[in-house]
Amino acid sequence: MEPKTEINRLLDVMPASGRMICKIVSKPEQKTVIESPYPFPWTGTREIWINFNLWSRLSQQQRDLLLLRTVSWLIGIKWFKPDVYQGVVVAALLGGVFELVQRDIVGIVIAGGLTALATTQIWRSNRNSQTQLSADEAALKVAIRRGYSETEAAQSLIRAIDAVAQIEGRSNLDFIELLRRQNLRAIANLSPVGVPETIKKD
């Protein structure tokens, strides 16, 4: 597989919002099929790293859905939105600057601790099960606009999850992958049992 040709094809598959902020980078040395570093507020471009030697073992449908899923997750990460934790970060930063001007060491330490705690909570909220399931569902919506049926897209993503684990030499799926798979099976009408709302919100 020629990386440049495949990158151009994948750019056409991406939604316009994805093309604006995401960049596909060839990473032949990585052991995973597709990966994306967590984007921090100061990160301009959100990179998607692909090992095209491993990527080529997937079907085109699986590749499309994996890419759309990764793009949907990256687009869904919001550092600056009305939220308790974002408010704490801003307040703690302002408090830290004030304490720095006042040269209050204890105040600086407390403000720094609050900033770190709130930032960690934002990071965790963007990686929880609800966010992961939402990224899958957003990817399916884009796939439908690209000519897939919802069932076909969900089945392709299920197969992609399984295939990636096999290619990467993992004998078992992790907990989030199992949740995602069950949710996709319900969407594809392959299972009458979906993921309970209580777990989705974890």
Q: Please give the pLDDT value at position 84.
A: 45
Closest CA relative to residue 3, chosen from 53, 45, 48, 37:
53
Q: Please give the pLDDT value at position 135.
A: 95
Please, what are the averages of pLDDT over each run of 10 residues along the chain (202 residues)?
A: 95 95 96 92 88 98 98 84 49 52 57 53 61 94 96 97 97 93 93 70 58
Q: Please give the pLDDT value at position 101.
A: 58
Please say whether the beta carbons of 45 and 21 come within 8 A.
yes
Helix (H, G, I), strand (E, B) or coil at 149: coil
